[in-house]
């Protein structure tokens, strides 16, 4: 099984901050990685797929980089609507999610 490890688990930030979340895979997944945003009581929403491709309608302040085993999600300027939990997911071999990173208000 491919394990996905996100860091940090919680991140406190202010509006306007640049925020980076890291996701590591236990083996190479090439670029078969997606990022999702989830708000309390809601279903996750796809932000990025294939490590760096922005889903249609997702603001350009979100970006993704990486390949192999290390990936990052960056929010260039945090907005009030971005306070949420973020999950990475590999889809190279079945599907596995990271444990999530909660972005809360500093």
**What is the contact surface with another protein in residues (CB under 8 A)?**
1, 32, 34, 36, 43-46, 49-50, 55, 87, 89, 91, 94-100
**16 vs 57, beta carbon nearer another protein:** 57
**19 vs 85, beta carbon nearer another protein:** 85
Burial label, 42 (beta-carbon count in 10 A; 0-12, 13-18, 19+): exposed
Considering the complex, what minimum distance in angstroms separates the CB of residue 91 from another protein?
Answer: 4
Residue 69 pairs in a beta bridge with none
Residue 93 pairs in a beta bridge with none
Token pair recorded at residue 92: 């190279």
């Amino acid at each position: 099984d491919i394990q996905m490890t996100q860091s940090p688990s919680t991140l406190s930030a202010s509006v306007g901050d640049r925020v980076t979340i890291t996701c590591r895979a236990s083996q190479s997944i090439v670029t078969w990685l997606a990022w999702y945003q989830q708000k309390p009581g809601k279903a996750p929403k796809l932000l990025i797929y294939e490590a760096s491709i922005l889903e249609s309608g997702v603001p350009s302040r979100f970006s993704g980089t990486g390949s192999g085993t290390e990936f990052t999600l960056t929010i260039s300027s945090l907005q009030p609507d971005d306070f949420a939990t973020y999950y990475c997911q590999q889809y190279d071999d079945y599907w596995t999610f990271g444990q999530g990173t909660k972005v809360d208000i500093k």
